[in-house]
Structure 1
Amino acid sequence: MDNQEMAAQDQQPISVGEWVLYLFLFSIPFVNVIILCIWAFGSEPNQTKKNFARAGLIWIAAGIIFYLLLMFLIFGTFSSMMHDMNMQTV
């Protein structure tokens, strides 16, 4: 494939049918992360897919960080409550 063919493929819009298939695949746990990594870091010629994959990975990373912070907060609160309850019963 020469540069003109690759540029033409990069400019082609993604059809509705393709988006329906992609959205279905993204709804499957772990498959979505694998596909996003392949698109984001692989040799995907379509810049729209590459940018979408990078944005998706950023959202996933932000969600994981938020989840971990929330779990530490809940665990810390629960630990503190249990410690206070033990101190009151002694």
Structure 2
Amino acid sequence: MYVASPAAVVYQEEPISTGGYIGILLLLMLPIVNLVCVIIWACGGCRKHNKTNLARALLVWMLIGTVLAVLIFLAGSLLFGDQIEALKEFGSQISGGIVE
């Protein structure tokens, strides 16, 4: 009895068309909708394996971008936090002097 190896399995799935990718990218341009769609697609809410893999890759990039943004914000606030407060105080002194 011959058993096919898992590598020999061929998917009979139709690929995503160019118009399909255009529609996906249009949905991903909307701020909250993109996160909801990507989470649904990554969890298997679609029939196409290409879209699932794309959504998983986008989630990884979103996570990396979020972590980097938080780290940069924290580093910036630690490095320049005192200077920002000094600028705010200086601005209030200038505007107070002009008005008076």
The alignment's TM-score, normalised by the length of structure 2, stands at: 0.67
Identity %: 31
- Structural RMSD (CA): 1.8
List per-residue Cα deviations over 1:13-50 (Å, max 9, x = no partner): 11111111111111111111111111011342211111
Structure number having the greater helix percentage: 1
Q: Larger RCO: Structure 1 or Structure 2 (Cα < 8 Å, ≥ 6 residues apart)? A: 1
Alpha-carbon distance between aligned partners in 2 of 1:53 and 1:23, rounded to the nearest angstrom: 11
Unpaired segments ≥5 residues, structure 1: 1-6, 84-90
Aligned residues: 75
Unmatched segments (≥5 aa) in structure 2: 1-10, 86-100
Partner of 1:87: none
Is the aligned partner of 1:37 residue 2:5? Answer: no
